[in-house]
């Protein structure tokens, strides 16, 4: 049986990446397939981490000897970023092999299992272990240490990485990021191959989710968590204690002129904001795990600390209307690390 051609579009931004993933899932198991990368002209960080993982899953489903590739030899940027090696094609760099350069972070695989083990053995909170990584990524993208732009990125990246490592049960968390100064836009993509949001929230006796869409909506509400709820054991003195505010706070930051996408299993949700209106859009999604795309505009990153306090207060008021929620965000989820660490010295 001759291989069936599968051509990738020239642009693979969020919407195109989601549509391409749908087409990949439609390929029958065992069907010889020739993946043609010739036409690709643009792939954002989300497309890199999401599609590399979806292609990897598809190749496994096709079985040995049924996956072929063409056109990848001319895709130097994707090869440099670790895209092809991420799904097993022996071309270009491995994930994490390329040195982080000015304004971009290549596809990188974070050993989530090792971080959880280190936390358990050392007693150091997972959030604290991830703080340095988030600071490094933010410094590469912003080309500075400190300041509103850097601190906004570090906060958002830390909270999303922390959420994935603490709740997903995934062995690996994959991420990639890029900053386009001329577009006033930063994109950060983070993906895990874990249990998904609905399964995570099922541990909370106050939440009833009958679909992935419901679970995603619940996860973005303040004070909602699979481990922190009324009656659960919460150490109020632990600055890194889980409080269910990480996704809520990060999504609020992204909507300051940017947008926020989260997908888990069978459902995806995009939240965006413009001077004219706020938008909420459900998009097709299908993946055994959770993927997020954060888009932040540096020009909107001013006065982050005061905004975090505002979001925290507004979140506490909203949480009071939700049964069984935690009414106050943890210190880490409502303040910049540089600020609350000053009080620990």
Asked if 73 and 189 sit in the same domain, the reply is no
Q: What integer pLDDT is reported at residue 323 of this predicted model? A: 52
**Domain that includes residue 230, residue range:** 104-342
Specify whether 119 is located in the same domain as 75.
no
Domain boundary among 24, 57, 86: 86
Phi first, then psi, for residue 25 (nearest 5°) are -70, -20
Asked whether the CA dihedral 278, 23, 289, 108 is positive or negative, the reply is negative
* Predicted local distance difference test score (pLDDT) of residue 342: 37
Q: pLDDT tens for residues 209-252? A: 789 999 898 888 876 765 554 544 554 544 445 556 788 888 98
pLDDT for 13 equals 95
6-20, 269-283, 287-301 — most confident range: 6-20
Quote the CA–CA distance of 191 and 195 in Å, as a whole number.
12
Give me the number of domains the chain comprises. 2
C-alpha span between 24 and 47 (Å, rounded): 13
Q: What is the CATH number of the domain that holds 287?
A: 3.30.565.10
Residue 99 maps to a domain? no
What angle in degrees, to the nearest 10, is found between the helix axes of 246-254 and 148-167?
A: 140
Statement to judge: residues 138 and 76 lie in one domain: no
Residue 240 C-beta-side C-alpha neighbours within 13 Å: 18
| pLDDT given for residue 330 in this prediction | 45
Q: Name the band, by pLDDT with cuts 50, 70 and 90, for residue 2.
A: confident
* Alpha carbon distances (Å) from 145 to 69, 149, 159, 280, 301: 41, 9, 18, 33, 14
* Average pLDDT along the chain: 85
Q: Do 79 and 108 reside in the same domain of the chain? A: no
The pLDDT, as a whole number, for residue 331 is 38
80 and 109 in a common domain: no
Q: Is residue 91 part of a domain?
A: no
Is 211 inside any structural domain?
yes
Cα 36 from Cα 25, distance rounded (Å):
16
Tokens representing 344? Answer: 């620990």
Q: What percent of the chain has pLDDT over 70?
A: 84
In a domain, 218, yes or no: yes
| Tokens of residue 188, six digits | 């950060």
Contact 30, 62 (CB under 8 A): yes
Percent of the chain topping pLDDT 90 = 56
Looking at residue 321, its pLDDT comes to: 62
For β-strands 259-273 and 278-296, DSSP reports them as antiparallel
Across 91-95, 102-106, 126-130, 207-211, which has the greatest mean pLDDT? 91-95
16-66 residue pLDDT tens: 999 999 999 999 999 999 999 999 999 999 999 999 999 999 999 999 999
Question: What is the pLDDT at residue 180?
Answer: 94
Co-location of 57 and 113 in the same domain: no
Q: Name which of 268, 270, 259 is nearest 287 in CA terms.
A: 268
Across 53-67, 75-89, 153-167, least confident range = 153-167
Alpha carbon distance 83, 259 (integer Å): 24
| 341: pLDDT strictly greater than 90 | no
Residue among 62, 114, 104 at smallest CA distance from 87: 62
- Position 92 in a domain: no
Q: What is the mean pLDDT of residues 285-289?
A: 93
pLDDT of residue 306: 76
| Least confidently predicted of 180-194, 201-215, 260-274, 314-328 | 314-328
Quote the longest CA-to-CA distance of the chain. 68
Confidence of residue 325 (pLDDT cuts 50, 70, 90): low
- 179 and 304 belong to one structural domain: yes
Residues 108 and 75 in one domain: no
Asked if residue 233 and residue 112 are part of one domain, the reply reads yes
Token pair belonging to 177: 């990021």
> Is the domain of 76 the same as that of 169?
no
322 found inside a domain: yes
Q: What is the DSSP letter of 101?
A: B
Global pTM value: 0.87
In a domain, 96, yes or no: no
Length of the chain: 345
| CATH, residue 59 | 3.30.750.24
Question: CA 202 → CA 162, 206, 222, 226, 231, distances in Å?
Answer: 19, 9, 17, 7, 15
**Cα–Cα distances in angstroms (integers) from residue 242 to residues 118, 138, 247, in the given order:** 18, 23, 11
Is-contact 272 259, C-beta < 8 A? yes
124 and 190 co-located in one domain = yes
Q: What pLDDT does 332 receive? A: 42
Q: Among 86, 112, 144, identify where a domain stops.
A: 86
Q: What are phi and psi of 279, to 5 degrees?
A: -125, 145
The answer, yes or no, to whether residue 311 has pLDDT greater than 80, is: no
pLDDT classification of 147: cutoffs 50, 70, 90 = confident
Instruction: Determine, yes or no, domain membership for 59.
Output: yes
Same domain, 152 and 26: no
Q: Please, are residues 176 and 78 in contact by the beta-carbon 8 Å criterion?
A: no
C-alpha distances (whole Å) from 78 to each of 84, 105, 109, 169, 173 are 7, 12, 16, 29, 19
């Amino acid at each position: 049986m001759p291989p069936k051609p599968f051509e990738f579009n020239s642009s693979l931004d969020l919407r195109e990446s989601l549509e391409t993933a749908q087409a990949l899932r439609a390929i029958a198991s065992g069907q010889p397939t020739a993946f043609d990368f010739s036409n690709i002209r643009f792939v954002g960080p989300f497309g890199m981490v999401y599609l590399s993982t979806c292609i990897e899953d598809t190749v496994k489903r096709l079985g040995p000897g049924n996956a072929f590739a063409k056109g990848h030899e001319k895709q130097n940027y994707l090869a440099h970023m670790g895209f092809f090696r991420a799904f097993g094609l022996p071309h270009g760099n491995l994930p994490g092999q390329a040195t982080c350069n000015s304004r971009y972070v290549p596809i990188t695989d974070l050993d989530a299992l090792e971080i959880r083990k280190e936390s358990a053995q050392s007693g150091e909170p997972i959030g604290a272990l991830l703080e340095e990584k988030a600071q490094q990524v933010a410094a590469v993208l912003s080309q500075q240490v400190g300041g509103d732009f850097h601190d906004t990125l570090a906060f958002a990246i830390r909270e999303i990485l922390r959420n994935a490592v603490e709740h997903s049960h995934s062995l690996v968390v994959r991420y990639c990021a890029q900053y386009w100064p001329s577009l006033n836009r930063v994109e950060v993509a983070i993906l895990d191959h874990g249990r998904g949001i609905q399964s995570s929230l099922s541990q909370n006796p106050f939440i009833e989710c009958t679909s992935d869409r419901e679970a995603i909506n619940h996860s973005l509400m303040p004070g909602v968590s699979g481990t922190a709820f009324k009656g659960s054991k919460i150490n109020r003195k632990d600055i890194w204690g889980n409080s269910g505010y990480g996704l809520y706070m990060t999504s609020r930051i992204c909507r300051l002129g940017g947008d926020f996408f989260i997908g888990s299993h069978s459902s995806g949700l995009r939240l965006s904001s413009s001077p004219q209106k706020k938008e909420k859009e459900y998009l097709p999604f299908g993946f055994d795990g959770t993927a997020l795309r954060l888009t932040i505009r540096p020009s909107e990153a001013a006065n982050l600390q005061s905004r975090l306090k505002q979001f925290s207060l507004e979140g506490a008021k909203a949480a009071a209307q939700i049964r069984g929620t935690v009414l106050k965000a943890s210190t880490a989820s409502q303040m910049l690390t540089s600020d609350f660490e000053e009080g620990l010295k």
